Structure 1
Amino acid sequence: MKITSIETTIVNAIHRNWVFVKVQTDQPGLHGWGEATLEWKTRAVNGAIEDLAPLVIGEDPMRIEHLVARMTRFGFWPLGAVSGSAVSGIEQALWDIKGKALGVPVWELLGGRVRDNIRVYTHLRRAKIGAQVGIEDISAFCDAVQETVEMGYSAVKLGLIPYTGHDAPLSAVRHTAKLAQAVRERVGDEVDIMTDFHGRPESLDAAKAYIDAIAPIRPMFIEEPIQPGNTPAMADLARRVDCPLATGERLFSPREFAEVAETRAVAFVQPDLAHCGGFSGGRRIAAIAEAAGMGVCPHNPMGPVAGAVALQFDVATPNFVIQEEAVGLVPWFEDICSSYPLELVSGAWAVPDAPGLGIEIDEKTAAKYPFKQEEIPALEAIHGDGRIAHW
């Protein structure tokens, strides 16, 4: 069996373009899907996939680790967000091909099922674009949280803090404390709450002030309380607060995650399989985390193929904890698929048994939403004095 071509299908989902990767083989009807979506870098990722194609076309798609080495070692330059996403999308598609060729789901190839369902969490109103609620109106925000939980979830991730610089104004911290407490009172103790800081605080003291305000409601974790990459600072912060921390969506290599594990900087790591090397990179990262006693909560606010990939990974990963999903981003999320495995049952995804990833993109339907410039919500991230904030 040989790889004959690599194609991309780009689908505009308003705030991002989903980049679906299709790897074709010389076996009639046998192909694989992957997803290489990277917010606001669509053209760059698509070009990187074109650059990688000559390294794998003509090769045996069943030799996945060999092909990952070809894509990473022949390239000379270390992988970053763009090239890492391109490699990830192609790598995922290879697993899809292998599972289909052998007639088994990908989770079977990863060592087999270690759990019976995959607990998931969603965002406010399932991340539906245009349906979000600001943090200023506590009552309206709580109404939206309650509405989200009633959609069938036992866990939800919320944005609870404002754009933040090096300081944390007392009035903003007190408002955050009131908001967090109101949310907890509304949903009760049976619902897990996470909050994503998006790396907004620019100092450990600012991050600590907001964490201390939220900690009394016992969140499952606080995500990216500071910008990623400064692992010693994250470890320092972890020792100064009484709340589990999480990071990893903007880390790409096992070496980066090894530093996080060695310093015990967080309680949970959040690799994104669309950026960190697909299943191959994700498995290495999960093993590193397991050795350090850390849970894995994969990042995924993207399209349906990314969801299918995460589902297969979670089924076979012993230290998996909970999976992010955003299946409500657009109303036609499921419609672009002719086969769709993300079945929500009591706040969890069911384990699929179809060969490969269990997902197929309906390319005719997907073509109704062609590439166009995304709407970029980060453009609103500006401090009162005009300085650019971390979104």
Structure 2
Amino acid sequence: MKITGLKTLVVNAQMRNWVFVKVETSQPGVFGWGEASLEWKTRAVVGAIEDFEAMLTGENPLNIEHLYQKMYRQSFWALGVIGMSAISAIEQALWDIKGKELGVPVYHLLGGKVRDRVRMYTHLGGGDMKAVYETFSVEPLIALAHDVIDKGYTALKVVFVPYSKTIEGRGKVTQFASMFGQLREAVGPDIDIMVDFHGRTTPAMAIQYINAIEEFHPFFCEEPVRPENIDTIKMVTDHTKVPIATGERHVSIYHFKEIFEKNAVHVIQPDLCHCGGLWAARKIAAMAEVYNMGVAPHNPLGPVANAVALHFALSTPNFLIQEDMLTDVPWRWDVVETEISSEKGFWAVPTRPGLGIEINEKEAKKHPFKQEIMHSNTIRDDDNAILDW
């Protein structure tokens, strides 16, 4: 069996475009699917996938690690998130092919099942970008949280950290703590609440924000500062008592090295559509296991990414909880044929070979590429300076 080609299928899902990759083979009816969705870089990722086609055509698709090494090392230039997203999707599709060829679900090939179900959490507002990133009033915050809980989730994520300058006054800290306190009171003690700081703050402000909500027991605080400087993340970890998480914007096993060496966080969040795929994520998780860190993969993407994340979670001992965005568009499950199901905030174990999904290409093509929704407004300070969103 040889690889005969790579095809991309772009599906517009309002907040983002899903980029599906189909790896075709010389064996009739045998192909695999992966996902390389990357916000606001859709055309670039599709181009990167096309660039890899010549490198892979004629290769045996079952030699997954060999082909990963070929794509990564023969590219010569260090690959950023665009190149790594392309590799990730292709790698996922190779696992899909291998599982189908051997007649087993992919998690069997990753060491087998270590749990019987997978706990999930989701965002407020589903695919409504404004609801996810700009809910700064208590009433809609609580209403959206109850909507998530009514769907059966026992954990949710909020993103109402104020857009911040290097140093802010007491007002924003007080407002943030008040909102979190009222949310905790509204949802009760048994719902886990994660706070995504989205890199909006500096260590000085992140420490103040996190210490102000410590009494309300956040499950973890994510990406409290921009992720480029690991020392600044560690500074936050060292001066707070709430678990700290990061990793969604780190796109290879090498980018995680410093995090582990410095014990910079408590939870890592590799994105399986950006970090190199399933096997790269397993390598990252194995390194995290040595440092007693949990793994909570980043994933606000499409249904193929959901399937990939499920197989990872089922086979990874230090897996913690899985992000999803299953309510982004009402037709999400029309574009895939799958047995994958969820109930009361947990995914069930799939039994079909491979990743357990097939793309309904006819349905998918009903939602062709469109320019993704940009953040409603470029985030600016009151003096018009650009802030992190």
TM-score above 0.5: yes
**Contact 2:133–2:160 (Cα < 8 Å) also in 1:** no
Partner amino acid for 1:388? I
2:244 aligned with 1:248: no
1:168 and 2:168 matched:
yes
Per the alignment, residue 78 of structure 1 pairs with 78
Q: Per-residue deviation at 1:303?
A: 0.4
Quickly say closer, same or farther: Cα 1:49–1:331, change in 2 above 3 A.
same
Identical pairs, percent: 49
Q: TM (normalized to structure 1)?
A: 0.97
Shift of 1:160: 2.2
3-state SS of 2:332 partner: coil
Paired amino acid for 1:324 = E
Amino acid at match of 2:29: G
Q: CA contact under 8 A between 2:45 and 2:86: conserved in structure 1?
A: yes
Where 1:68 maps in the other structure, the secondary structure is: helix
Say which SS state the counterpart of residue 166 (structure 1) adopts.
coil
Residue 369, structure 1, aligned to residue 367, structure 2: yes
Extract unaligned runs of 5+ from structure 1: none
Q: Note if 1:197 corresponds to 2:202.
A: no
Structure-2 separation of matches of 1:339 and 1:204:
44
Contact 1:18–1:303 (Cα < 8 Å) also in 2: yes
Q: Is the 8 A contact 1:156 1:194 kept in 2?
A: yes
**1:351 pairs with 334, 349, 352, which one?**
349
Give the equivalent residue in structure 2 for 1:323. Answer: 322
Change (3 A) 1:204 1:108: same
- Residue 227 of structure 1: SS of its match in structure 2? coil
Whether 2:88 is the aligned partner of 1:88: answer yes
What's the secondary structure of 2:168's corresponding residue? coil
Q: TM-score, normalised by structure 2?
A: 0.97
- Structure 1 residues 388 and 330: CA distance shift in structure 2, 3 A: same
* Counterpart mapping for 1:50-89 below 5 A: 50-89=50-89
1: CA distance between counterparts of 2:321 and 2:171? 33
The aligned counterpart of 1:185 is: 185
Deviates more, 1:13-22 or 1:161-170: 161-170
Measured in 2, the distance between the counterparts of 1:378 and 1:31 equals: 39
Unaligned 5+ runs, structure 2: none
CA RMSD of aligned residues (A): 1.3
Whole-Å separation in 2 of the counterparts to 1:297 and 1:83: 23
Equivalent AA in structure 2 for residue 309 of structure 1: V
Structure 1, 121-130 or 329-338: larger mean CA deviation: 121-130
Displacement of 1:128: 4.2
Partners of 2:136 and 2:246 in 1: CA distance? 26
Q: Is contact 2:132–2:159 with CA below 8 Å preserved after alignment?
A: no
Partner of 2:153: 153
Aligned residue number for residue 107 of structure 1: 107
Would you say the 8 A contact 1:133–1:144 is kept in 2? Answer: no
The one-letter code matched in structure 2 to 1:204 is P
Give SS of 2:241's match.
Answer: coil
After superposition, the C-alpha distances for 1:16-59 in whole angstroms (9 at most, x for unaligned) are 11100000011111100000011100011001001111111110
Distance 1:131 1:335 in 2: 24
Q: Distance in 2 between matches of 1:273 and 1:43?
A: 20
TM-fit CA distance, 1:386: 0.9
How many residues align structurally?
A: 389
* CA distance in structure 1 between the aligned counterparts of 2:127 and 2:212, rounded to whole angstroms: 25
Q: CA deviation at 1:346?
A: 2.2
The answer to whether the Cα contact below 8 Å between 1:128 and 1:328 also exists between their aligned partners in 2 is no
What does the per-residue CA deviation read over 1:59-118, in whole Å, with 9 as the maximum and x for residues that have no partner?
000000000011011110112100000000000000000000000000000000000000
Tell me the residue number matched to 1:207.
Answer: 206
Residues 333-382 of structure 1: per-residue CA shift (max 9 Å, x gap):
111112252x1122110011110000111100010110111111164322
Measured in 2, the distance between the counterparts of 1:233 and 1:21 equals: 36
The answer to whether the Cα contact below 8 Å between 1:128 and 1:330 also exists between their aligned partners in 2 is no
Task: Output the CA distance in 2 between the equivalents of 1:234 and 1:131.
Answer: 27
Does 2:125 align with 1:125?
yes
- In the alignment, the residues of structure 2 paired with residue 30 and residue 339 of structure 1 have an alpha-carbon distance, to the nearest angstrom, of 17
After TM superposition, the structure 1 = structure 2 runs for residues 298-313 of structure 1, keeping only pairs within 5 Å, are: 298-313=297-312
Residue 293 (structure 2) aligns with: 294
| CA distance in 2 between partners of 1:378 and 1:267 (Å) | 32
The answer to whether the 8 A contact 1:11-1:17 is kept is: yes
Dislocated runs of 4+, deviation >6 Å? none
1:5/1:286 Cα in 2 relative to 1: closer, same or farther (>3 Å)?
same
Cα distance in 2 for residues equivalent to 1:293 and 1:32? 34
Give the partner amino acid of 2:359: I
**How far is the alpha carbon of 1:146 from its aligned partner?**
1.4
SS in 1 for 2:126: helix
What residue in structure 2 maps to residue 281 of structure 1? 280
How much has 1:135 moved relative to structure 2? 3.6
8 Å CA contact 2:15–2:128 kept in 1: the answer is: no
Shift of 1:239: 0.6
Shift of 1:258: 2.0
1:14-53 aligned at under 5 Å gives the runs 14-53=14-53
The answer on whether the counterparts of 1:199 and 1:227 sit within 8 Å (CA) in structure 2 is: yes
Partner of 1:231 in structure 2?
230
Looking at structure 2, the residues matched to 139 and 4 of structure 1 have their Cα atoms a distance apart, in angstroms, of: 54
Kindly state the Cα deviation for residue 7 of structure 1 after the two structures are TM-superposed. 0.1
Q: Tell me if the contact between 1:334 and 1:340 (Cα under 8 Å) persists in the aligned partners.
A: no
My pick for the range that moved more, 68-77 or 164-173, is 164-173
Query: Does the C-alpha gap of structure 1 residues 384 and 40 become closer, same or farther in structure 2, counting only changes over 3 Å?
Result: same
Residue 236 of structure 1: how far off its partner (Å)? 1.7
Whichever residue aligns with residue 51 of structure 1, its letter is: D
